[in-house]
Amino acid sequence: MSSENGTTPTNFIRNIIIKDLESGKHDRIITRFPPEPNGHLHIGHAKSICLNFGVAAEFGGRTNLRFDDTNPLKENEDFMRAIMDDVRWLGFEWDELLHASDYFHQLYDYALHLIKTGKAYVEELTAEEIRAHRGTLTEPGRESPYRDRPVEENLDLFERMKAGEFADGTLALRARIDMTSPNMNMRDPVVYRIRNASHHRTGDEWHIYPMYDWAHGISDAIEGITHSLCTLEFEDHRPLYDWFLDNIPTPCHPRQIEFARGNLDYTVMSKRRLRELVEEGLVNGWDDPRMPTLAGLRRRGFTPEAIRAFWTEMGVSKADSIIPMGVLENAVRNDLNVRAPRTMAVLDPLKVILTNYPEGETEWLEAPVHPQNEAMGTRKVALTHEIWIERGDFMEEPPRKFFRMRPGGEVRLRNAFIVQCNEVIKDEKGEVTELHCTFDPDTRSGMPGASRKVKGTIHWVSAEHGQPAEIRLCDRLFTVPNPLGEKDHDYREFLNPHSLDVIQHAIVEPQVANGEAGDFYQFERTGYFCHDNVDSKPGRPVLNRIVTLRDSWARIEKEMAQNQS
RNA sequence: UGGGACGUCGCCAAGUCGGUUAAGGCACGGGGUUUUGAUCCCCGCAUUCGCAGGUUCGAAUCCUGCCGUCCCAGCCA
């Protein structure tokens, strides 16, 4: 059941929704994606976005983007804008743009209701005292001395909290539930705290701000959300989510369903860690192409299509998982393979002189833009007396199974003809600086000898027409699969010092040098690349390697090296 | 040592109110095509569902016990 044959892979949440639709519990579904605007979205959020928007779209439902902005100390408008950009970039459009702060008045009124029915009280204990009263995982908590405060007094105090009469942390509103519950969340959770802080949307109107548990379920109910999808760590909150909605007169009672986060290896995904990497200058911002943020992946050149396909393929379950980065990379290859225009680029140039090709002459060869898709047309490739080839494509004393250029050997220049290497020129240190080759005119594309077989085909670029380019090769950010999983070590210790390798003088075909931010290509035989969306300028190209091509030769090389040692 | 959840092929993951030979993708191995050692195309890849018992004509699916992993003691979300 792959998406390729037209069916969507199923999962337990989808099954619940199908059942609710069939039973008539809901006529149409409404989901929501509820980020807190306190950081940038990452690939893990994309899973939630794909799930929420995807399942609603599949069944003709709606999806809201709702900012969970209940903590003014951590949130701001810049993050909100970045999140909206990322969601749209991923390919989704929300039905309504909403904020928990839109409901602050309703949230307050519901709190009044809770107080009036004797189910909430104003706490005077300090945060530390509350903690001490809460008990432990194995011991029940103790009730606060303020727990039985009369309703009128609670109302009075709560109104004065709202009016800003008290300092931060002095009072709090607590739900009156059960201090002996084995579920810590039910031990009289705090519902409102005092924060004499300005909120990015409501300004100085409020001095009290609702906690997540209070705001979230009520916001869901106000919006008529049918299925409130969240991650596994909120499982313990569901009894509280339900208790709140059962004890106040909301228009409906959404169902919270939890699923497992999607983790990737060799990276970190929590907002806190990503923020640290950015703030400590360990990476170059939230959109550093090595980051697992959507902004980073976008800059790196990952496509939204690939990310969506990746999460569709991975499915949704409740089992904890760590997905190999290679799986994501493969999704990108699959997408780009079909769409990326082909071009030749030499990353580590070695000069080759075609001794029997006239000096000063340029011939423009016709080459397909995509070998499997004629509709993508052709491009012109300049051929001249001097060309560049990849240094790694020549070996003076090659091992067995090396199909590329060697002294006396023949190899095909892609899109051109077969050449033979006659002479190896070296400098005083013995380093190869130049190769002299002759070409076989009968083997050029279109000629009778073109079908002659040689083992290897290598890419090349005209020395006269090729343009210089900066190329950034990104590797995994960390050197271990789970940087946070090593006891006694800070995850920063595992940062990969070689995660960014900059090649200053690669050579690309002229049309690539004039590409624009976001344009992507397959550099034949080396990988997929795209123009960096901040640093690349026409005439001064900077390209990021999105991902390499699958490389079975690299595997063979590695095996040979291992067998020798 | 309280509570909540999870454990199906190397990695994801269908299937779980019992019923023929346990989907699919990725990875991997083998073969073919190929002017990218890419792509593409074939073929192979869990007698077994964390472990041990039990119920049953029949269990990954039900019961019991055990083991392992994750989450919870913010006036964060």
Asked if residue A564 has pLDDT above 80, the reply is no
Mean pLDDT on A405-410: 96
Decide if A283 contacts A268 (C-beta within 8 A). no
Q: Which tokens belong to A283? A: 């990476």
- What does the pLDDT read at residue A6? 40
Decide if A433 contacts A423 (C-beta within 8 A). no
Instruction: Classify domain A349-465 at the CATH class level.
Output: mainly beta
SS3 state of residue A499: coil
Chain B nucleotides reached by a protein CB under 7 Å? 1-8, 11-16, 23-29, 35-40, 69-77
The residue assigned the tokens 């005209």 is A462
- What does the pLDDT read at residue A4? 32
- What does the pLDDT read at residue A7? 56
pLDDT in tens, A157-215: 999 999 999 999 999 999 999 999 999 999 999 999 999 999 999 999 999 999 999 99
Residues 212-231 of A with CB under 7 A from strand B: 212-213, 215-216
Contacts of A311 (CB under 8 A, 6+ apart): A46, A47, A50, A51, A262
CATH code at A12-104+214-266+301-329: 3.40.50.620
Is the CB of A146 within 7 Å of strand B? no
Instruction: Classify domain A105-212 at the CATH class level.
Output: alpha beta
Is the CB of A169 within 7 Å of strand B? yes
Is the CB of A143 within 7 Å of strand B? no
Asked if residue A127 has pLDDT above 70, the reply is yes
Nucleotide B4 C1' to residue A69 CA (A):
27
Domains of chain A, residue spans: 12-104+214-266+301-329, 105-212, 349-465
Q: Which tokens belong to A341? A: 């225009």
Nucleotide B57 C1' to residue A459 CA (A):
68
pLDDT in tens, A46-103: 999 999 999 999 999 999 999 999 999 999 999 999 999 999 999 999 999 999 999 9
Q: Measured on CA atoms in the order A461, A463, A469, A475, is the torsion positive or negative?
A: positive
Nucleotide B13 C1' to residue A327 CA (A):
14
- What does the pLDDT read at residue A67? 98
pLDDT in tens, A96-123: 999 999 999 999 999 999 999 999 999 9
- What does the pLDDT read at residue A298? 97
Catalytic residue among A271, A290, A308, A406: A271
Residues 356-415 of A with CB under 7 A from strand B: 370-372, 401-404, 412, 414-415
- What does the pLDDT read at residue A350? 98
- Looking at every residue in chain A, the average pLDDT score rounds to 95
Is the CB of A337 within 7 Å of strand B? yes
| A261 assigned to active site | yes
Minimal CA–CA distance to A225: which of A111, A94, A81, A41? Answer: A94
Q: How many CB atoms lie within 10 A of CB A137?
A: 6
The residue assigned the tokens 């077989």 is A453
Let me know how many helices (H) and strands (E) chain A has, helices first: 14, 27
